[in-house]
């Protein structure tokens, strides 16, 4: 906060466990207080005018340098992401690279904030618009893309001249903290970015409710997002919510069933299925249905499951997420869907007593079944009301 690494007066810590080995604590972070959240917002507000007045090219230079610093630590950040979330190496490394690309992209956009010139209706007049920063922006991000989503929100906010308070998800805050470290090293002025780790009910709600916060960007569940939206709009703030989905892939009769199965498997089982944009439904034409199902089941059953560092598919992020997934598998069976693949916890020394679940395929799913309508995430996107 305000350019310094500050100890919270709470003295409490949030311990982050390795999802592939829950007995291993990989990191500890401060469980900050409402007072810490307030101090962060006040630091951002104090820095807002000077940062808004900083020329766009200078803002862009800092963003580019931060991206370069992240690039120099690509492997280190990948290891941190895998340790805290256990995403497969290729996915984790790709996400880190995406964050780097985002900072480099918006470094160029910072020099050209836009504005328009209009034709006036009267002589001897100039009519034009000027883009100005909103002010202090509060960002609340989830664990399923712990470096990409903070980068998606941070880079454009900073490029446009806003100051930021960020609360990363408690399950995997490490890479977001390292973004702040890189921005600080790149020369970002004190108070422009302030990262506060802690519970959403304390820190996130403190950010949203503070009078000095002008805008809120939240990624999380629909239930929590609705509360965020109402709290922010009631206070007259701008608000952006990116919530859960139930995303279908439509497979037509002209589709190649094998290609379609590849697409659905990648969309459904990639990132351990823990994505709000994951493909969770396939709507398949009857003429290719049987062949498509056979192809998809084959792909589900061939996925290599184990710790993300050296396997194709890692574990669920925590016990709550695993329980939620298994609960929905049970609900689907109780409602009459046909289990075609997976559906349980895998066996083997490397995966027992941990948070792994088999890639699962259901067929004969009616549109009124809960698995056809509900995302099923219990903890993947929890926001200000708790982690």
- What is d(CA 304, CA 350) in angstroms, rounded to the nearest whole number? 12
Question: 């396939």: which residue's tokens?
Answer: 282
Task: Classify 13 in phi/psi space as left (phi over 0), alpha (psi -120 to 50) or beta.
Answer: beta
Query: Structure tokens of 152?
Result: 């998606």
Catalytic residue check, 279: no
**DSSP letters of 80-145?**
HHHHHH---HHHHHHHHHHHHHHHHHHHHHTT-----EE--SSTT--EE-------EEEEE--SSS
Residue 195 near residue 166 (C-beta atoms within 8 A) = yes
- What is d(CA 312, CA 268) in angstroms, rounded to the nearest whole number? 13
Map residue 25 onto helix, strand or coil.
strand
Q: Which of 276, 297, 322, 329 is catalytic?
A: 276
Residue 179 phi, psi dihedral angles, 5° rounding: -60, -45
Residue 371 near residue 328 (C-beta atoms within 8 A) = yes
**DSSP letters of 154-184?**
HHHHHHTT-EEEEE--TTS-HHHHHHHHHHH
Query: Structure tokens of 22?
Result: 């829950």
- What is d(CA 7, CA 196) in angstroms, rounded to the nearest whole number? 10
Query: Structure tokens of 228?
Result: 């965020």
Q: Which residues are catalytic?
A: 276
């Amino acid at each position: 906060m305000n350019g310094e690494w500050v100890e919270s007066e709470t003295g409490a810590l949030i311990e982050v466990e390795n999802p592939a080995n829950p007995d291993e604590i990989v990191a500890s972070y401060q469980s900050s207080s409402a007072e810490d959240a307030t101090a962060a917002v006040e630091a951002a507000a104090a820095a807002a005018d000077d940062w808004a007045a900083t020329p766009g090219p200078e803002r862009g230079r800092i963003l580019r340098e931060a991206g370069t610093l992240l690039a120099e630590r690509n492997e280190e950040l990948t290891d941190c992401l895998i340790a805290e979330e256990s995403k497969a190496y290729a996915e984790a490394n790709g996400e880190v690279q995406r964050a780097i690309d985002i900072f480099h992209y918006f470094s160029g956009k910072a020099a050209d904030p836009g504005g328009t010139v209009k034709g006036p209706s009267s002589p001897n007049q100039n009519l034009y618009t000027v883009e100005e920063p909103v002010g202090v922006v509060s960002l609340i991000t989830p664990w399923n893309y712990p470096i990409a989503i903070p980068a998606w929100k941070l880079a454009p906010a900073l490029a446009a001249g806003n100051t930021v308070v960020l609360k990363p998800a408690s399950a995997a805050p490490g890479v977001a903290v390292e973004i702040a470290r890189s921005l600080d090293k790149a020369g970002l002025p004190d108070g422009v970015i302030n990262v506060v780790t802690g519970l959403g009910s304390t820190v996130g709600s403190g950010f949203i409710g503070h009078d000095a916060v002008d805008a809120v960007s939240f990624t999380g569940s629909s239930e929590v997002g609705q509360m965020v939206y109402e709290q922010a709009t009631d206070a007259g703030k701008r608000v952006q919510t990116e919530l859960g989905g139930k995303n279908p892939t439509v497979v037509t009769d002209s589709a190649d069933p094998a290609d379609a199965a590849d697409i659905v498997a990648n969309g459904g089982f990639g990132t351990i299925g823990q994505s709000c944009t994951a493909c969770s439904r396939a709507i398949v034409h009857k003429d290719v249905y049987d062949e498509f199902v056979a192809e998809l089941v084959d792909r589900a059953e061939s996925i290599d499951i184990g710790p993300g560092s050296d396997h194709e598919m890692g574990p669920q992020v925590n016990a709550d997420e695993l329980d939620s997934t298994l609960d929905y598998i049970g609900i689907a069976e109780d409602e009459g869907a046909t289990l075609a693949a997976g559906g349980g916890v895998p066996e083997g020394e490397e995966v027992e007593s941990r948070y792994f679940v088999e890639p699962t395929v259901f067929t004969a799913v009616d549109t009124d079944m809960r698995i056809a309508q509900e995302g099923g995430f219990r903890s993947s996107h929890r926001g200000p009301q708790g982690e």
